[in-house]
Amino acid sequence: MKVTRRDLFVWGAGAAAGLVFTPVPWKLLDDVSIWSQNWPWIPQPTRGPIEFKHTFCSLCPQRCGLKVKLAGGWPVGVAGVRANPMTRGALCPLAFGAHQLNWHPQRLRTVRHKGSTASWGEARATFAKACSEGPVAVIDGQPGRATSSILASFAERRKGSYLVALSPETRALLPYESWSGVPASSLGYDLGNAGTIVSFGAPLLDGWGIPGRFTRLWAERAAGMNDPQLRLIQIEDSFSHTAARAWRWIHVRAGSDSALAAGLAQVLIEEHLVPAGGPVPSLVLSDAAAQTGLSENSIRELARTMLDQAPVLAIASDENPGVAALNVVLGAIGSRGGIVCRSKHAEKYVPFDDAIRKARTVLIDSSVPWDFQPQIDAEIFRFAAWDIGSSKSDWLLPAPGFLEDLTDVPTPPTSAVEIFAVAQRLVTPAIDVESAAQFLGSIDSSLPSPEKIIHQRCADLFHQRAGIVYEREPTPVAKFESVQKLEAELWKGAMWVGDPSSLGGLRCELKEWPTAAVAKPSQNWATEWNAPVLPPLATKLFRESSLREAPDRRIA
Amino acid sequence: MSRNSLVFGFGLAVALLAGWVAFPRALYVKQHQPVEFRHKTHAEKSGLTDCAQCHAFRDDGEFAGLPANDTCAGCHSDRMGTSPAEATLVDRYIKPGQQTPWLVYSRQPANVWFSHSVHMRQAGLTCADCHGGYGESDQVRLYELNRISGYSRDIWGHSMSRLWRAPGDGMKMSDCEDCHRRRKVEVGCLGCHQ
């Protein structure tokens, strides 16, 4: 029998029809899709024993407590720590996927000099030479750490400047510093005892302060309640995530926060709703109404509503003397549920001044927000874990990423109590990275190591015999038998919390109402993002959650 | 019957035969476990009657998975009998201090998060509900490795058609969904893909 071309086609048609009724196409489709998840360039978690370690988040200066799940010594999951007294298990959505950030395509993997690949040796030699040629300025984004001490020591030895890029939360506390003489670094908000919080654009539910702290507070005292125990009044020009969840959203014109604060103070004083004796704003109510876009009656009603549930605390999104003066009028300085002084030993932050303009060399620590771009002629050495683009730095130096560096955890800017903790290094970097402290240590070997400073800080805590260490159970420091035992607890992820803030030690001498600052567009990391550096899963979380919104997506 | 029908039928029969008989044999490669472990022997001779005696939950509630060799070394730090399997375990893994590279039938892709604790302690499932009566078997099964996906045949299930399967046969996402639907327990995407 002769096999014809037609037979082959008919046979093929029969085979094709038959295949549809076999598992071949469906199984192949399934297997190939699974196979595509395991391509060699896709990082896979190591297989090995599962363990959990407690540490602290390093994504922002606020340092929420983390419970990290490790498989074979490699982090595969992140959760909050219930025993952490500040956050009590709450985290911002970004932290939940943060262990993937080290694999992000925008991770800075090599030293770069003006866009070209360079070596650590070249960077070191150039930096050392530049330091010998003129003044150096070292810029820190998270002061108070062991690393900060090393940066400050280096600048001091080279007769240079140690400067701090303040977070907007800290800048919002600067007016109280100038009026009370107490450094902003030792001031905080007693949020837990506040009855009403009037937020002038501060993104309280959008990554502000210690994100886990306010999220937990909000969940317990406000979320889903018609008459919440904690009233949040959000004064903002756009319907932000915080505005959407607030008890009241007051829509005002952009840049009119100071005018509204003055208007509210006018009403409070006129109607004798607050004790007399505070500063009186010169702005009349009609002008405040004109500037904010609200009616005079609305401002009057808002002032009365604020006081319905005391204590009342006003929070500005950035440095705003008008909002700070409103707190003085409200009596929220040094009082329960207001602005408190948590420590008498804090240092004043050195503001930016001419020192940075005279500098021959500027070193920027990786803790400084990416959008901080000094407009100066100096040679700039910038440490960063991720390259978000548009950098004006001469040198980009790869820094340790998430959980890749040992650091201590000083008190976050908004905290009402002092804290101390140690975030241990849980991940061995897959690329050649150095922190700014390591880099400077390799140039000046007489600088102390972070480990040594952390050890000394633990010893200081032990000898003070004050405060409580929170691990699974709270243990007073006085009950620890030795420095070693206290240090061991802290290295395991425990947190030391100091004694509650003293309420009587803070007074603001303010005779006249401060002149309104010229409204400037917000330039802080909490509200302005060039491009979020997020891994795919975190990007999904970012979009589906209330993590942080890009300003251009806001609904006015 | 016309010639065309015959040829078409022949092609159909070859495809069906290849798809149902040859394809599974070609797709899966059979592998032996590194040690011929016998659950039944351990249950009878050592009194290990509860799975959790070796496959334990830790203090924090997390499932510890396969026991490390430290657990085995509690009895087998040296040879107790004459079986070749025990000799392999002791000489190749316990004495050199290496972990036994068990081939895990139920290993899921890395993007799947599964809590044994939630399913057993909250939902009340037993080990056998998902793993079958493997704990009572007298010999260790051959591990069938899917050449393409790299996972065990137990994930797809032993029925190639996935029809008329025995309870607990198959550990794909649809199996999880079916069980959750039957028990009226809702879980979103991030419940398992965290």
The answer to whether residue A523 scores a pLDDT higher than 90 is no
Beta bridge partners of A69: A52, A77
Enter the DSSP assignment of A147. Answer: H
Q: DSSP state, B134?
A: G
Arithmetic mean of pLDDT, A456-462: 92
Do A116 and A215 share a structural domain?
A: no
Residue contact A17–B12, C-beta within 8 A = yes
The Cα of A48 is separated from the nearest Cα of chain B by a number of Å equal to 10
A120/A193 same-domain check: no
Chain A residues near residue B13 by CB distance under 8 angstroms: 14, 18
pLDDT of residue A276: 74
Q: Each residue of A178-193: pLDDT tens digit?
A: 888 888 888 889 988 9
**Are A229 and A156 in a shared domain?**
no
Distance CA A61, CA A162 (A): 18
Same domain for A146 and A223, yes or no, is no
pLDDT of residue A476: 92
- Domain end: A337, A369, A397, which one? A397
Nearest CA in chain A to B162: A23
Compare CB distances from B110 to A6, A44, A50 and report the shortest one's residue: A44
A238 - beta bridge partners? none
Q: How far is B112 from chain A (nearest CA, A)?
A: 11
- Do A267 and A295 share a domain, yes or no? yes
Q: Which residues of chain B neighbour A37 with C-beta distances below 8 Å?
A: 109-111
A36 Cβ contact list (under 8 Å, min separation 6)? none
Closest by Cβ to A15, choosing from B3, B14, B24: B14
Residue A350's pLDDT is 67
pLDDT tens for residues A80-92?
888 888 888 888 8
Query: Is A144 within a domain?
Result: yes
Residue A289 inside a domain? The answer is yes
Q: Is the pLDDT of residue A300 over 90?
A: yes
Domain count, chain A: 2
User: Taking 50 as the threshold, does the pLDDT of residue A96 lie above it?
Assistant: yes
Residue A530 has pLDDT above 50, yes or no: no
Q: What pLDDT is recorded for position B63?
A: 74
Q: Which of B1, B4, B21 should one mutate to test binding to chain A, selecting the residue with the greatest count of A CBs within 10 A?
A: B4
A227, amino acid identity: D
Most confident of A310-324, A371-385, A537-551: A310-324
Return the pLDDT at A390.
67
Any A CB within 8 A of B187 CB: no
Give the model's pLDDT for residue A106: 84
Tell me how far apart the alpha carbons of residues A250 and A253 are, in angstroms, rounded to a whole number.
10
- pLDDT 10s digits, A118-175: 999 999 999 999 998 888 999 998 888 999 999 999 999 988 889 888 888 888 999 9
| pLDDT at res. A527 | 39
Residues A157 and A174 in one domain: no
Contact B4 A10 (CB under 8 A): yes
Name the 3-class secondary structure at A65: strand
Residue B111: its chain A contacts at CB < 8 A?
37
Chain B residues 26-55 within an 8 A CB cutoff of chain A = 27
How confident is residue A28, by pLDDT bands cut at 50, 70 and 90?
very high
Burial A498-515 (b: 16+ CB within 10 A, else e): beebeeeebebebeebbe
Angle between helical axes of A285-292 and A296-308 (0-180°, round to 10): 100
Does B60 touch chain A if contact means CB atoms closer than 8 Å?
Answer: yes
Assigned domain for A264 exists? yes
Q: Does one domain contain both A161 and A206?
A: no
Q: What is the mean pLDDT of chain A?
A: 84
Contacts of A77 in chain B (CB under 8 A): 113, 194
| C-alpha dihedral (A174, A177, A182, A187), degrees to nearest 10 | -40
pLDDT value for A326 = 92
Interchain CB contacts (distance < 8 Å): A and B: 98
Say yes or no to pLDDT of A532 above 80.
Answer: no
Residue A488 lies in a domain: no
Q: Which residue of B has its CA nearest to A472?
A: B60
Residue A538 lies in a domain: no
Q: Do A27 and B109 touch (CB under 8 A)?
A: no
Q: Are residues A155 and A290 in the same domain?
A: no
Predicted TM-score (pTM) of the model is 0.75
**For residue A225, is it within any domain?**
yes
Are A175 and A286 members of one domain? yes
Same domain, residue pair A246 and A279: yes
**Is residue A296 pLDDT above 80, yes or no?**
yes
* Record: contact B19-A50, CB cut-off 8 A: no
Nearest to B19 among A13, A22, A30 (CB): A22
Of the listed ranges A19-23, A163-167, A354-358, A381-385, the one predicted with least confidence: A354-358
Residues A182 and A286 placed together within one structural domain of the fold: yes
Average pLDDT over residues A10-24: 94
A554: Cβ contacts below 8 Å, ≥ 6 apart: A238, A239, A240
Q: Is A495 helix (H, G, I), strand (E, B) or coil?
A: strand
pLDDT category, B60, cuts 50, 70, 90?
low
- Asked if residue A502 has pLDDT above 50, the reply is yes
- The reported pLDDT for the residue numbered A154 is 94
Distance (Å, rounded) from C-alpha A307 to C-alpha A62? Answer: 30
Q: Which domain holds residue A360?
A: 108-125+134-166+351-397
CB A467 within 8 A of CB A442: no
Ordered by start, the domain boundaries in chain B are 1-27, 102-194
- Chain A residue with CA closest to B26: the answer is A24
Which among A434, A437, A433, A489 has a CA at the least distance from the CA of A461? A489
| Same domain as A375, residue A326 | no
Q: What is the pLDDT of residue A542?
A: 52
The answer to whether A376 touches A532, Cβ cutoff 8 Å, is no
Q: Do A44 and B62 count as a contact with CB atoms less than 8 A apart?
A: no
pLDDT band at A353; cut points 50, 70, 90: low
Mean pLDDT, residues A403-407 taken together: 92
Chain A residues within 8 Å of chain B (Cβ atoms): 6-7, 10-19, 21-24, 27-28, 30-32, 34-35, 37-38, 44-45, 49-50, 52, 76-77, 96
The C-alpha atoms of residue A247 and residue A225 are separated, in whole angstroms, by 9
Task: For residue B148, give the nearest of A7, A32, A44 by CB distance.
Answer: A32
Phi, psi of A324 (to 5 degrees): -65, -40
Between chains, do B109 and A23 touch, taking CB under 8 Å as contact? no
* pLDDT (tens digit per residue) in A227-258: 888 999 999 988 888 888 899 999 999 889 99
Q: Taking 60 as the threshold, does the pLDDT of residue A541 lie above it?
A: no
Chain B, 66 to 125: residues with Cβ < 8 Å from chain A are: 68, 109-111, 113
Indicate which CATH number applies to the domain containing A312.
3.40.228.10
Q: What is the mean pLDDT of residues A36-53?
A: 78
**Sign of torsion over alpha carbons A427, A433, A436, A442:** positive
The whole-number pLDDT of residue B121 equals: 83
